[in-house]
Amino acid sequence: MRHMISVLVENKSGVLARISALFAARGFNIASLSVSETEDVAISRMTIVVKGNESILEQVTKQLNKLVDVIKVNDFNDVEYIARELALIKINIANKASRDEIIRLVGVFKAKIIDISQDSVIVEISGNESKLSAFMKVALAYGVKETCKTGASVLYRGNSGRVK
């Protein structure tokens, strides 16, 4: 099962290593990870997407809490949240017709074309995971040269994260 965990940590060197080592030591593969400073520069937020069963995940959450540099851990299971990812996708252009099709598709997905060259375009798209994978499927039909995707950025809606 897919889980999103948000971890607030002290913004210090070595903290990311502590957290990734914790996952590695338990044989967990991190599906995606995004790290950034928060509104308070002394605190960073790590949003981690992992796949695994409940009991192992419960252990991981507890282990994260046990780390001295971890301030707070939120598992987004059972809470209402908003998640966004951003992808840059370089798509082949075989001919003018396919270029026009891509431009139309980009409009449908509310994505953006941010670069055009002779034989390819770079599309910027943001949204939740299902929107991004839907667009990716379409893009693959034209031939995808390269992609680069961020990890998820997640916040819970309103105060729903506190209820649980």
Partner 1 sequence: MKKKTGAQILIESLLKENVEVVFGLPGGQALPIFDAMYGSKLNFILIRHEQAASHMADGYARSMGRPGVCIVTSGPGATNIVTGLASAYMDSVPMVAISGQVATSVIGQDAFQEADTIGITRPVTKHNFLVKDVKDLARTIKEAFYIATTGRPGPVLVDIPIDVQREVCEFVYPDKVEIRSYKPNYNGHIGQIKKAAELINKSKHPVFYIGMGVVVSNAEDEILELSKKANIPVTNTLLAVGAYPCDINLSLGMLGMHGTYCANKAMQSADIIIAVGARFDDRCTGKVCDFARNAKIIHVDIDPTAISKTVDVDIPIVGDAKTVLKEMIGLVDKKGRKDWIKTVDLWKKEHPLSYKRNDDKLHPQYVIEKISELTKGEAIITTEVGQHQMWSAQYYKAKHSRLFLSSGGLGTMGFGYPAAIGAKFGNPNKEVIAVAGDGSFQMNMQEMAVAVLNKIDVKVVILNNQYLGNVRQWQEMFYGKRYSHSCLAKRKECPKWCSTPNRHSCPVYVPDFVKWAQSYGVLGIRVTKKKDVELALKKMLETKGSVVIDMWVEIEENVFPMVPSGASLDEMIIRANG
Separation between Cα atoms, residue 12 and residue 66, nearest integer Å: 17
Q: Is 37 in the site for partner 1 (CB under 8 A)?
A: no
Structure tokens at 21: 């080592």
- Which DSSP helix (H) or strand (E) runs through 82? strand 81-92
Phi, psi of 99 (to 5 degrees): -60, -45
Phi, psi of 57 (to 5 degrees): -65, -35
User: Taking CA 163 as the corner, what is the angle to CA 157 and CA 164, rounded to the nearest 5 degrees?
Assistant: 105
Position among 65, 128, 133, 160 found at the interface with partner 1 (CB under 8 A):
65
Residue closer to partner 1 by CB (options 28, 135) is 28
Binding flags for partner 1, 68-87, as an x/- string (CB under 8 A): xxxx----------------
Binding flags for partner 1, 116-135, as an x/- string (CB under 8 A): --------------------
Site residues for partner 1 per CB under 8 A: 9-10, 13-14, 17-18, 21, 25, 55, 58-59, 62-63, 65-66, 68-71
